[in-house]
Amino acid sequence: MSGLLKFITCGSVDDGKSTLIGHLLYDAKLIYADQEEALKLDSKVGSRGGDIDYSLLLDGLMAEREQGITIDVAYRYFTTDNRSFICADTPGHEEYTRNMACGASFADLAVILVDASQGVLTQTRRHARICALMGIRYFVFAVNKMDLTGYSEQVFKEIEQQIEELRKELSLYSTVIIPVSATEGDNITKRMENMDWYKGPVLLDYLETVDIDEATAEEKGFYMPVQRVCRPNHEFRGFQGQIEHGTVHTGDEVRTLPSGEKAHVKSILVADHSEESAGEGRPVTLQLDREVDVSRGCVIESGTSLKAYDTFETELLWMDDTELTVGKNFLVKIASKLIPGIVTGIKYKIDINTGEQESADTLKKNEIAAVTIAVTEPVIASEFADYRTMGELILIDRISNMTSACGVIKKTSDGGSGRHHAADRAVRGALNWQTPLIVEFRPDEDNVSADVIAEAEFKLIESGRHTYLYHPEKGENYADVAKHLFEAGLVVLLILDNDTAADDRLSSDERYKTWKALRGSYNSDVTSDEISDKIFRLTNSSITMDANNWII
Least confident of 257-271, 310-324, 395-409, 490-504: 490-504
CATH of the domain at 468: 3.40.50
Range of the domain at 509: 437-538
pLDDT in tens, 59-96: 554 444 444 445 567 788 888 888 999 988 888 777 77
Q: Tell me, yes or no, whether 235 and 145 share the same domain.
A: no
Q: Mean pLDDT throughout 25-52?
A: 62
Strand 138-144 and strand 109-115: pairing?
parallel
pLDDT in tens, 520-531: 765 677 889 989
Domain final residue pick, 302, 333, 354: 302
Closest CA to 201 of 242, 141, 158, 155: 141
Please tell me whether the peptide bond between 472 and the residue prior to it is cis, using omega within 30 degrees of 0: no
* Residues whose CB falls within 8 Å of the CB of residue 190, separated by 6 or more in sequence, listed in order: 27, 202
Instruction: State the pLDDT at residue 442.
Output: 86
Per the prediction, the chain carries an average pLDDT of 83
Query: From CA 73, how far away is CA 368, in angstroms rounded?
Result: 21
Q: Tell me, yes or no, whether 360 and 373 share the same domain.
A: yes
* pLDDT over 90, % of the chain: 45
Q: Tell me, yes or no, whether 407 and 450 share the same domain.
A: no
Q: Residue 543 falls within a domain, yes or no?
A: no
Q: Tell me, yes or no, whether 28 and 57 share the same domain.
A: yes
Domain final residue pick, 249, 277, 302: 302
Q: How many CA atoms lie within 13 A of 123 on its CB side?
A: 21
pLDDT in tens, 395-426: 999 888 899 999 999 998 754 444 444 556 66
Q: Tell me, yes or no, whether 494 and 413 share the same domain.
A: no
How does residue 45 score in pLDDT terms, banded at 50, 70 and 90? Answer: low
Q: Residue 508 falls within a domain, yes or no?
A: yes
**Secondary structure element (H or E) that encloses residue 430, with its range:** helix 425-431
CATH of the domain at 71: 3.40.50.300
Q: Tell me, yes or no, whether 252 and 359 share the same domain.
A: no
pLDDT in tens, 298-308: 999 999 999 99
CATH of the domain at 285: 2.40.30.10
- Number of domains making up the chain: 4
Query: Which segment, 153-157, 230-234, 326-330, 398-402, is predicted with the most confidence on average?
Result: 153-157
Q: Tell me, yes or no, whether 198 and 294 share the same domain.
A: no
Instruction: State the pLDDT at residue 309.
Output: 92
Judge whether 127 and 166 are in contact, CB under 8 Å: no
Q: Residue 146 falls within a domain, yes or no?
A: yes
Per-residue CA distances from 48 to 19, 40, 499 (Å): 12, 11, 82
Q: Tell me, yes or no, whether 480 and 415 share the same domain.
A: no
Least confident of 90-94, 202-206, 327-331, 352-356: 90-94
Q: Residue 549 falls within a domain, yes or no?
A: no
Q: Tell me, yes or no, whether 141 and 118 share the same domain.
A: yes
Q: For residue 64, which phi and psi values (nearest 5 degrees)? A: -65, -40
Instruction: State the pLDDT at residue 90.
Output: 84
Q: Mean pLDDT throughout 239-258?
A: 95
Strand 253-257 and strand 299-302: pairing?
antiparallel
* pLDDT over 70, % of the chain: 83
How does residue 501 score in pLDDT terms, banded at 50, 70 and 90? Answer: low
Q: Residue 399 falls within a domain, yes or no?
A: yes
Q: For residue 374, which phi and psi values (nearest 5 degrees)? A: -120, 135
CB count within 10 Å of CB 216 equals 11
Q: Residue 255 falls within a domain, yes or no?
A: yes
Query: From CA 440, how far away is CA 179, in angstroms rounded?
Result: 68
Q: Tell me, yes or no, whether 124 and 205 share the same domain.
A: yes
Q: Residue 442 falls within a domain, yes or no?
A: yes
Least confident of 6-15, 68-77, 420-429, 509-518: 420-429
CB count within 10 Å of CB 190 equals 13
How does residue 368 score in pLDDT terms, banded at 50, 70 and 90? Answer: very high
* Residues whose CB falls within 8 Å of the CB of residue 39, separated by 6 or more in sequence, listed in order: 26, 31, 52, 53, 54, 56, 57
Q: Residue 388 falls within a domain, yes or no?
A: yes
Q: For residue 312, which phi and psi values (nearest 5 degrees)? A: -150, 155
Domain final residue pick, 429, 454, 483: 429
* DSSP class per residue in 153-189: HHHHHHHHHHHHHHHHHHT-SEEEEEE-BTTTTBTTT
**Secondary structure element (H or E) that encloses residue 143, with its range:** strand 138-144
Judge whether 430 and 541 are in contact, CB under 8 Å: yes
Q: Tell me, yes or no, whether 205 and 89 share the same domain.
A: yes
- Asked if pLDDT for residue 258 goes beyond 60, the answer is yes
How does residue 544 score in pLDDT terms, banded at 50, 70 and 90? Answer: very low
Q: Tell me, yes or no, whether 205 and 263 share the same domain.
A: no
Q: Mean pLDDT throughout 319-324?
A: 90
